[in-house]
Amino acid sequence: MVVIVPTVVATDAPCTGLSVIYNDDKTFNSYLFYPKNPEAVIVDSEVIANAPVKFLVAGMGDALGTYFEARACDRTDAPSLESGGITRSAMALCRLCYDTLREYGAAAKKACECHVVTPALEAIIEANVYLSGVGADNGGLAVAHSFYNGLTALGGHSAPHGNCVAFGTLVQLVLERAPKKEFEEVQQFCMEVGLPVTLEEIGITKDEEIRVIAEKSCVEGESIHNMVSDVTPDQLYAAIVAADALGKEARA
Ligand SMILES: [Zn+2]
C-alpha cells in the first residue's frame, strides 16, 4: 500500500502512477510506470500555506500543461500516459484543471504569501496535485513535457520542472497554431502568477542551448511525437524562439 503525504505542491507527481527517473547528472532518463496509482494522497493545506510560495507557483506551471497536452493527445488518438484511451471524463478533469488555475491561481498565490488557507488555495492544491496528476495519467503528455526533458540535457539547470513546463506549454501553443486569444490567455496567466514567458526566466540565454533542447526534446519515444503532424527539431527550435519573442514583447 502506498500513501503519499506531500509537503509541497510543486508538481503533480503525488497522484500519478509513475516515477520519473533521472541520471546522476540530472538529465532525463525515462518514465517508470507502476501497476497502480497510490492508494491515498493526503495534503495538509496548512503545511502548503506555510511552504515557500515558489513551490505552489511551480505546481501551477506543471498543471498548466495538463489540459493542452491531453488535448493534443486526444486530437491524434494517442494513448494516455498510462497507455489507455482518452475518455471524455479525462478531458473534463484536464479542462477543470486549467479553468481552476485561471480562476483561483492569483488568489491562491496571495493566500500562500500570507500563510493562510483560503478556498482559493485549496482549489489550487486540488488542481496542482489531483486534477493535474489524474488528468495527465488519463490524458497524456505532448510538447510541454518533452521540452522539459530536452532541457535537462543541458545539465545543472536550476529552473523548477513546473516553470519549464509552463514555458513549454507556450511553445506547444505556437506549434499548434493556437488562436491568438488562447495563446495570450495562457501567457497572461503565467505573468499573473509569476511563471516564465521568456527563456531567460528559466535560465536559457544561449542559442546553442536552444538547439540542444530542440534536438533532445525530439528523441524517439518522447511525448512530443503525440502531436498532429510530427515535430522536427528545426520546427521546435523555431517555436521556442517565437514563444520567447512573444514573451519578451508581452513583458515590455
Ligand atoms: Zn510534470
155: pLDDT confidence band, cut at 50, 70 and 90? confident
Tell me which of 111-115, 128-132, 222-226 is least confident: 222-226
Between the CA of 33 and the centroid of ligand 1 the distance, in Å, is: 14
CA distance 103 to 125: 13
Helix/strand/coil percentages in the chain, nearest 5 = 60, 5, 35
CA distance 57 to 48: 12
Between the CA of 164 and the centroid of ligand 1 the distance, in Å, is: 9
Is the pLDDT assigned to residue 63 strictly greater than 80? yes
Q: Which residue has the higher pLDDT, 132 or 230?
A: 132
CA distance 116 to 106: 14
Is the pLDDT assigned to residue 156 strictly greater than 80? no
CA distance 164 to 160: 7
Between the CA of 162 and the centroid of ligand 1 the distance, in Å, is: 6
Average pLDDT over residues 42-50: 98
**φ, ψ dihedrals at 152, nearest 5°:** -65, -20
pLDDT in tens, 7-27: 999 999 999 999 999 998 888
Q: Domains along the chain?
A: 3-251 (1.20.1090.10)
For residues 128-165, b (16+ Cβ closer than 10 Å) or e, as one string?
bbbbbbbbbbbbbbbbbbbbbbbbbbbeebebbbbbbb
Is the pLDDT assigned to residue 190 strictly greater than 90? yes
Which of 192, 53, 47, 62 lies closest to 117 in space, CA to CA?
Answer: 47
pTM: 0.96
For residue 83, what pLDDT is reported?
87
For residue 72, what pLDDT is reported?
97
Burial environment of residue 4 by CB neighbours within 10 A (0 to 12, 13 to 18, 19 or more): middle
Between the CA of 189 and the centroid of ligand 1 the distance, in Å, is: 18
Is the pLDDT assigned to residue 230 strictly greater than 90? no
Average pLDDT over residues 197-213: 97
CA distance 109 to 227: 32
For residue 26, what pLDDT is reported?
85
Average pLDDT over residues 27-48: 94
8 Å CB contact between 56 and 48: yes
For residue 158, what pLDDT is reported?
79
